[in-house]
């Protein structure tokens, strides 16, 4: 019997197998047919410490006994209050306010709306958003509008708003990016904000740029009074080596989007952190100046409890040491592949490379073929076109990580001999 489930980013017409997972632990997924699958992409980049971390699961269970859900407009609960306090203590001090939502995309929508609301409340006519070429910020209308245009959103193009696009800062061509940014920032009326994925574009092909570029973009925005939005939905929570990718350039954004690893990857939750200045522009006795955004599950107590437990893990366990070790293991295991692929690169726990492919686009047949190849070998990898990347949970064992690279090596040989 066919399933009524309609899966995301899945062409059901191809009838590819959809494995049924029954339980998971660490970096391992167990399927109904008894397979042990290595989750080498942290289940779409969310699982940081590993699946079913005992402390997070215990926090979820305990909270589920007390309070399941609460309207968050005008009411509050302890997990949200604790989480907001713990987050502001852990994140850069300039980010004093925490607005909750439930996915990476909505945290981006919130940031964009806050930027426009900020200027509207100050009586300034500023609405344009500057974006970086090739970025991904989610699949909602706002997220798609500030993200790269392509086959993913062609059909919905009439719904998307116009943005100013600066070129990706390729090595040696960074000056062009800076010049374009300066030009857009100097426009009249001034743009409202720049939104970027700090240090690495994720879904746009795991493209890494230099910390100096991030720093310079921040400086230019500061100079022109354009708000700087850091979308750390993928890069946050240790992915690039430190807690935030912004740490590479020692910068603090005006608005910071976090999700995925916020709950250790266990439940959907997101936050948009804002400066006191952005909060203050909405602060008034005039109700028409409030921040007009809500969703039913804003700050769901169980998800907040999971996030509180995640932050405790960051405080109490040697997470950064674990990450440092994973970074070195990734470097060692990927080194022998360097001569067999193009552009092998690494930032923190993320390693990416291109396998030879004549068409080179996301829609090329190679991506799905590779995915099937890996799946048949019980490794969960989901290449972006011909870009294969590894982004494992931090608790992956040495043997399992070695197996991931052995399977990639096998795939490289197969593609080379086609």
Phi, psi of 272 (to 5 degrees): -115, 115
Min CB(8)–ligand PMP separation in Å: 9
Nearer to ligand PMP, 233 or 299 (CB): 233
Beta strands at 129-132 and 193-196: parallel, antiparallel or unpaired: parallel
Nearer to ligand PMP, 373 or 389 (CB): 389
Q: What is the DSSP string of 328-387?
A: HHHHHHHGGGGGGSEEEEEETTEEEEE---SS-STTSTHHHHHHHHHHHTTEE---BTTE
Residue nearest to ligand PMP (CB): 104
Which range touches ligand PMP (CB under 6 A), out of 136-144, 167-175, 303-311, 334-342?
A: 136-144
d(CA 57, CA 266): 8
- Cα dihedral 27, 30, 35, 36, rounded to 10, equals 20
The answer to whether 136 contacts ligand PMP (rule: CB under 6 A) is yes
Min CB(209)–ligand PMP separation in Å: 14
Neighbouring residues of 263: CB distance < 8 A, sequence distance ≥ 6:
56, 269, 303, 306, 307, 310
d(CA 236, CA 242): 8
List 108, 130, 309, 366, residue binding ligand PMP (CB under 6 A): 108
CA distances from 127 to 12, 115, 164, 338 (A): 39, 8, 11, 44
Which range touches ligand PMP (CB under 6 A), out of 19-27, 131-139, 181-189, 209-217?
A: 131-139
| Positive or negative torsion for Cα 93, 99, 101, 104 | negative
Min CB(135)–ligand PMP separation in Å: 8
Which range touches ligand PMP (CB under 6 A), out of 97-105, 209-217, 309-317, 390-398?
A: 97-105
Nearer to ligand PMP, 8 or 93 (CB): 8
Which range touches ligand PMP (CB under 6 A), out of 16-24, 227-235, 304-312, 353-361?
A: 227-235
Question: Within a 10 A sphere around the Cβ of 332, how many other Cβ atoms?
Answer: 12
| Subset of residues 362 to 381 that bind ligand PMP, contact rule: CB under 6 A | none
Instruction: Pick left, alpha or beta for residue 199 (phi over 0 → left; psi -120 to 50 → alpha; otherwise beta).
Output: left
| Subset of residues 254 to 293 that bind ligand PMP, contact rule: CB under 6 A | 259
Nearer to ligand PMP, 202 or 253 (CB): 202
| Subset of residues 158 to 217 that bind ligand PMP, contact rule: CB under 6 A | 197, 202-203
What does the block give as tokens for 369?
A: 């073929």
| Subset of residues 10 to 69 that bind ligand PMP, contact rule: CB under 6 A | none
Min CB(197)–ligand PMP separation in Å: 5
- Residues at the contact surface with ligand PMP, assessed by CB under 6 A: 103-105, 108, 136-138, 197, 202-203, 231, 233-234, 259
């Amino acid at each position: 019997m066919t399933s009524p489930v309609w899966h995301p980013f899945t062409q059901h017409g191809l009838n590819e197998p959809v494995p049924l997972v029954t339980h998971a632990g660490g970096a391992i997924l167990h399927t109904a047919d008894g397979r042990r699958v290595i989750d080498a992409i942290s289940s779409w980049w969310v699982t940081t410490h590993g699946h079913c971390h005992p402390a997070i699961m215990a926090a979820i269970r305990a909270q589920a006994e007390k309070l399941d859900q609460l309207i968050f407009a005008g009411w509050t609960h302890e997990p949200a209050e604790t989480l907001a306090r713990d987050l502001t203590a852990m994140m850069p001090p300039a980010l004093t306010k925490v607005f909750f939502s439930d996915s990476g995309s909505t945290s981006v929508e919130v940031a964009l709306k806050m930027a426009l609301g900020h200027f509207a409340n100050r009586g300034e006519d500023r609405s344009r958003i500057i974006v970086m070429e090739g970025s991904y910020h989610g699949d909602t209308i706002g997220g798609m509008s500030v993200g790269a245009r392509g086959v993913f959103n062609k059909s919905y193009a009439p719904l998307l708003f116009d943005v100013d696009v600066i070129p990706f800062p390729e090595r040696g061509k960074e000056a062009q990016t800076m010049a374009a940014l300066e030009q857009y920032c100097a426009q009249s009326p001034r743009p409202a904000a720049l939104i970027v994925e700090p240090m690495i574009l994720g879904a746009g092909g795991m493209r890494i740029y230099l910390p100096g570029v991030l720093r310079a973009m921040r400086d230019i925005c500061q100079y022109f009074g354009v708000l700087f939005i850091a979308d750390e939905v993928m890069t946050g929570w240790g992915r690039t080596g430190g807690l935030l990718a912004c740490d590479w350039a020692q910068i603090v954004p005006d608005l910071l989007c976090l999700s995925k690893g916020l709950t250790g990857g266990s439940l959907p939750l997101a936050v948009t952190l804002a400066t006191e200045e952005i909060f203050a522009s909405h602060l008034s006795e005039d109700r028409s100046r409030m921040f007009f955004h809500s969703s039913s599950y804003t700050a769901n107590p169980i998800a907040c409890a999971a996030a509180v437990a995640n932050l405790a893990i960051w405080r109490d366990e040697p997470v950064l040491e674990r990450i440092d070790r994973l970074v070195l293991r990734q470097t060692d295991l990927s080194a022998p592949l360097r001569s067999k692929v193009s552009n092998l690169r690494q930032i923190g726990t993320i390693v990416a490379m291109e396998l030879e492919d004549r068409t080179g686009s996301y829609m090329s047949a190679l991506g799905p073929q590779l995915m099937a190849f890996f799946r048949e070998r019980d490794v969960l990898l989901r290449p972006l076109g011909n870009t294969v990347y590894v982004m494992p949970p931090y608790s992956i064992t040495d043997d399992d990580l070695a197996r991931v690279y052995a399977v990639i090596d096998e795939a490289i040989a197969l593609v080379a001999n086609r």
